[in-house]
Structure 1
C-alpha cells in the first residue's frame, strides 16, 4: 500500500513519548496504532496521543475533541454518541451509551404547535426544543476511566491549539455552511459567515477562542464542569430563551445525566463474530439482521459485480429496516425484543422471504419472540455525524460514532460549541389509531439512532476490523455492505468502504450516483427492483488487522485519512461526482 509522510506541522507538535504501560508485553517493531477519522488534523491529534504512550481510548477521545473544532457541523461535546471498545488485556468489550436525553418536561406532544398539529421535521429542528442533554463528555469520561493511559487534561491539548491558534476552512465545511446552515443562530452565523452572508472562503484561518477557553476549563476541572455551574446555566438559558421552539430544560436535567454501560449485541456471520451497540442504537441489531439474512446465500460466489448480490442486499435491508422502525427504541422506557430479533430461527424465517430472482411485493415487520404491539412510524434521521476508528500497538481497539444530528444541529451554540438537534430523532407523532409508537418522545428518554460502531472478530478470535460510518439511516447499510465486501469478497477495508452503496430502507432502492451501481440499474429493474440513482451523503472509517499489523481505511468521498503512528497515511484515491451534497 502506498503511504505518504504527514508534514510535521500536521502532527501538532507531538511531545516526547511518556513511559508506556508494563502490561501487556511490548509489541513487535512493525506493530503500531492507527487512527482513522474524517479530518487529517483530528487524526493527527489521536496519533499525538499514541506517540505519547496513550491507548486507543486516549487516541479516540483526542481525535473526537479535535473534530469538534475542525468539523463543528457534524459532532462535538454538544451532542452524543456510542462507544464500542475492545480491551486487549482482558479480551472484553465495553459498550457505552452516551446518547442525548430528553428533558424531564418532555412529553409525547413535545413537537406539537400551539394549534394542536405536529410540527414538520424541518420546523422542529431549529431552536431549543430539539436539543437533548448532551452525552459525549460523560461517555468519553467513562471510557477514559476504563481504558485511558494518559491524563484527562492531555487529551484536550491538540483541540485547544486548533481552537486557539486557528485552522483552515476546508471545502466540505464551506459547502456545509452554504448548503445546510440556513438555520444557524446569530453566534454561528457571525462565526462561520462573512459580511456578505456567505460561508467564509476555503482556506480562511478560523479561530474559536470561546471554545478554546471551554476546553481549557474542561481539561482542568473535568467533565462535571460541563454539566453543573456556569456552562450548564448558560446552556439551559440558551435553549429556553431560543427565538424558535424554546425548550423547558432544567439544570437538573444536565446534572442528572449519566452515560450508561450497555450490553453489546453480538452474533455470527460466516466464521466471524460481529459486535455492535445495543438499543437505543438500532445499528448493532439491524447490521446483524442484514448479515444473518444473507448468510444462506453464496455471496462470495456471486461477487461484487453481480446485480443479484446487490439485489439480495437490498431485500435484506428492507426486512431489517422494517423491524428496526417498529421495535427499536430506548430500552429503559419501552420493551425492545433484542433477543427475539436476533434469534437465528427468527432471522432464518425472515430470510426465507428473500428470493434471488424477484423482489418482494411488500415488506412488513415480523413478530419476534417478546414483541409488543407496535405501530411503525416514519423515521426522521438526517445525516450529520462522524466516526472514529482507533487501535494501538498493544491490540486495543475502539469504534466510536459521535453526532449532533443534522448539519450544525439545532443551530444554537454555547461557548463556541454547537448544540445538537437530537430530539428530532424521536418520532414526532406519538401514536396512530390509538397504538403508541416505540420511539415517541418521553421525559428522560434517549431517541433511537442508526449509529453502528462495530468490532469484528476473525475465526482466530482476534479483532479483525473496527468500522463505523456517518450519514443518518444509511449508516446501517454502509456498515453491512462493507462487512460483506471484506468477509465475502475479500476486499481491503479501504476498498470495501469505497464501493458504491445500495440503500433500501423501503420500497425504492437508491443506487449511489457515480459508482459501479449506475450500470446495474437495468439488471436490478429486471429483478423487480424499483430503483433510483442519486447522490448519498456517506462517510465511513475503519482499521483492519492484516498480517499481524493494523491497516487503516477512510472514505474516499470525505476529507478523512487513516493515519499510522509513525505519521504516514494510506493512499486514498479521492472520488467526486456525488452531486452538491457534501459527504456526511
Structure 2
C-alpha cells in the first residue's frame, strides 16, 4: 500500500474518501480485490470535513525501538539497529535468538506473518511465511480408522508438520528491506547457543509442564543436563546443534534450511514413527513465501493495516469497524457495558471468521464483503440482543461454508521494531503448540502447524470447510500483526500478540484501549483480557474488579478463567510525552518481554 502517492492526488478530500480511494492500492489479494463502489465514494465525499491527523505537526516516527518476548532477543535486535541495520535486519536477529531462548513459542522450524512499513515510500507490505501442507496431504490427513485423530495424537505425529516458512519469509523481506549483510545477523544467536544461555522462568515452567511435546525423546534429550536433571530456571543451557544451524544460515543463506543436511534432518524427523508424516525434501525445496498487499481500513482518525488471508486480520478489521458503530464501547475500561459490548462484537467476529476465512489460493474469501459498510452495520446491530453463541452472517460475495472449530493452542510470539529511518516491523511468529510437535532437527523444534486445519473436510451435512486440509495449502491463522498509520500515511504505531485464536481478542483489546480509551500503551496491554468465542466468556477473571464482574453478570456475561494461551502483547504508539515526541511502548507482563529504545 502506498498512501503518499494517493495523498498527493486527493489531499483536499475528507479522510473517508481518501481511504476508500486508497483501497485499490492496499488490497491486492486473492478474493479481496475489485472496483471501488462509486456510490460509497460519493457518500464519503459528502461526509464530515477532513479529520486532523492525530500527530499533526509531529516529526517522523523513528527508532530505535524493539519490543520482543525475551530480553536477550531485544538486545540482539537493538545491537543490529546500533550497527545501522534496518528494522527487518533486526527482526532476523530477534527471531534467531527467540528460537533458541523461547523455543516453546517460535523458531526456525515455524512460520510467521510480517508487516513492514517503509519510512521513505510510506508503503506497507505484508509478508506471508505461513507453513504449507506437503504435496502428499489429503483432506483426511488426520483421519485414522475412518475417524479424526484425538488432537494430542495429531500434534505429536509427523503429519502435523508443515514446510517451515519463517526463515524463507525473513530472507525475502531482508532482501527487500535490509541494509546489513544477511551473514551479519546471526552472531548473537550463534554465541548464545554455543556458550549457553540462562533458562528463563517461563521456559523452565514449560519444560516442567504437562505439555506432551516437552516429554518427547527429543525434548527429554535437549532439556536434560549432564547430571541427569531437567533444566530449571537459572540453569545454563547450550545447544551446539542450533549454533551449527545458524552458522549455516549465515554462510549459505535461507536455502540451508530447505536443503542439504538440515533439510534432510527435518524430513527424517517428520517421517519418523509414530505416525510419520509425508513431508519430503521436494516439499522443502518448493516452498515460497508470498509478498501480499496489506489489508487496510480506517479506524477513527487512524488507518489500521493487517495481513490478508490466510491470516485472520480481516476479522480484526471487521471488529474495529463494528466498534465504530457501537457507542457503548466509549464508556471506557471501568464501564461494564463497554466490556459487554466488546464481548458481543467478538462473538460476531469469530462466527464470521470461522466460516469464511481460509487460504485464498483454495477458497474465495469474501474480504470485501466481510468489511462492507452495510454488512458491518447489520452485524453490529445484532450485538445488544445476543444471548448465546453468534451465527455467521452472509456477507456480499460470501459462499456458504461450514463453521470450523479448529483448535489453536499455545505457542506463538510477537515483535515490534522501528529503526532510525522510520522503517517498522510488526511480526507474529509461531511453532503452533508449546514446543511445536515435540520433534527436533538441527537443534530447533518443528511446527505442528497443520493441526490448524480443520480435521474434518466437511460438516455432517456435507458442507465444505474453508479451512480443510489440501496439498500445498496454507492453514488459516489467527496471527494478525498490526501497523497503524495516520491519514497521511505516516507511521503511528505497531502492535500484535500471541494467543492462538484469542490473538484477535487480545489485539482488539489493546487497540481499543489505546486508540479509543486513550490509555498509554502499557496500560492498554495491562488491561484484563476478555475472550468471547462461541457461547462462553474466558477472561483474566482475577484482573477484573468485583464491580465489573457484577456489572457484566447483570447483563448476561459471566466470565470464567481463560483456558487459552495468555496474551503476549507488544506494541508502541508515536506520541507526545513530557520530553517531546517518542515511542509510548509496552510489553505484556504476562510474559517476559521488554520494550526498549536503548
Do Structure 1 and Structure 2 share a fold, with TM-score over 0.5? yes
Structure 1 residues 432-581: aligned runs within 5 Å: 432=459, 433-516=461-544, 519-534=547-562, 537-547=566-576, 548-564=581-597, 566=598
Alpha-carbon spacing, 1:463–1:129, altered in 2? closer, same or farther (3 Å): same
Residue of structure 1 equivalent to 2:151: 121
- Which of the numbers 91, 97, 100 marks the counterpart of 2:131? 100
Q: Does 1:341 align with 2:370?
A: yes
Residue of structure 2 equivalent to 1:248: 278
Structure 2 residues not aligned, in runs of 5+ = 1-57
Distance in 1 between residues matched to 2:437 and 2:316, nearest whole Å = 28
Distance in 2 between residues matched to 1:472 and 1:129, nearest whole Å = 20
Structure 1 residues 139-538: aligned runs within 5 Å: 139-183=169-213, 184-194=215-225, 199-241=230-272, 243-282=273-312, 284-298=313-327, 301-355=330-384, 359-432=386-459, 433-516=461-544, 519-534=547-562, 537-538=566-567
Alpha-carbon spacing, 1:317–1:236, altered in 2? closer, same or farther (3 Å): same
Q: State the secondary structure of the residue aligned to 1:142.
A: helix
Q: CA deviation at 1:445?
A: 0.4
- Which of the numbers 117, 121, 128 marks the counterpart of 1:86? 117
Q: CA deviation at 1:198?
A: 6.3
Alpha-carbon spacing, 1:135–1:549, altered in 2? closer, same or farther (3 Å): same
Which structure features the higher share of helix residues? 2
Alpha-carbon spacing, 1:443–1:198, altered in 2? closer, same or farther (3 Å): farther
Alpha-carbon spacing, 1:277–1:180, altered in 2? closer, same or farther (3 Å): farther
Q: CA deviation at 1:182?
A: 2.5
Question: TM-score under structure 1 normalisation?
Answer: 0.88
- Which of the numbers 57, 61, 64 marks the counterpart of 2:88? 57
Give yes or no for contact 1:481–1:501 (8 Å, CA) kept in 2.
yes
Distance in 2 between residues matched to 1:295 and 1:172, nearest whole Å = 37
Distance in 2 between residues matched to 1:316 and 1:541, nearest whole Å = 23
Give yes or no for contact 2:541–2:559 (8 Å, CA) kept in 1.
no
Give yes or no for contact 2:358–2:365 (8 Å, CA) kept in 1.
yes
Q: State the secondary structure of the residue aligned to 1:102.
A: coil
Question: TM-score under structure 2 normalisation?
Answer: 0.86
Give yes or no for contact 1:82–1:451 (8 Å, CA) kept in 2.
yes
Distance in 2 between residues matched to 1:135 and 1:188, nearest whole Å = 22
Distance in 2 between residues matched to 1:225 and 1:461, nearest whole Å = 38
Alpha-carbon spacing, 1:252–1:298, altered in 2? closer, same or farther (3 Å): same
User: Which has the higher mean CA deviation after the structures are superposed, 529-538 or 430-439?
Assistant: 529-538
Give yes or no for contact 1:412–1:419 (8 Å, CA) kept in 2.
yes
Residue of structure 1 equivalent to 2:25: none
Q: State the secondary structure of the residue aligned to 1:539.
A: coil
Q: CA deviation at 1:521?
A: 2.0
Could you say what the CA RMSD is over the residues aligned between the two structures, in angstroms?
A: 1.8
Q: CA deviation at 1:411?
A: 0.5
Distance in 2 between residues matched to 1:266 and 1:119, nearest whole Å = 38
Distance in 1 between residues matched to 2:95 and 2:246, nearest whole Å = 13
Structure 1 residues not aligned, in runs of 5+ = 1-26, 567-584
Give yes or no for contact 2:115–2:426 (8 Å, CA) kept in 1.
yes
Alpha-carbon spacing, 1:361–1:213, altered in 2? closer, same or farther (3 Å): closer
Distance in 2 between residues matched to 1:194 and 1:397, nearest whole Å = 39
Query: CA offsets, 1:405-458, max 9 Å, x none?
Result: 000000000010100000000010111211111101100001011001001113
Q: CA deviation at 1:180?
A: 4.1
Give yes or no for contact 1:302–1:309 (8 Å, CA) kept in 2.
yes
Q: State the secondary structure of the residue aligned to 1:514.
A: helix
Q: State the secondary structure of the residue aligned to 1:423.
A: helix
Query: CA offsets, 1:527-578, max 9 Å, x none?
Result: 12243234651211112211232232100111110121x3xxxxxxxxxxxx
Q: State the secondary structure of the residue aligned to 2:398.
A: coil
Q: CA deviation at 1:301?
A: 4.2
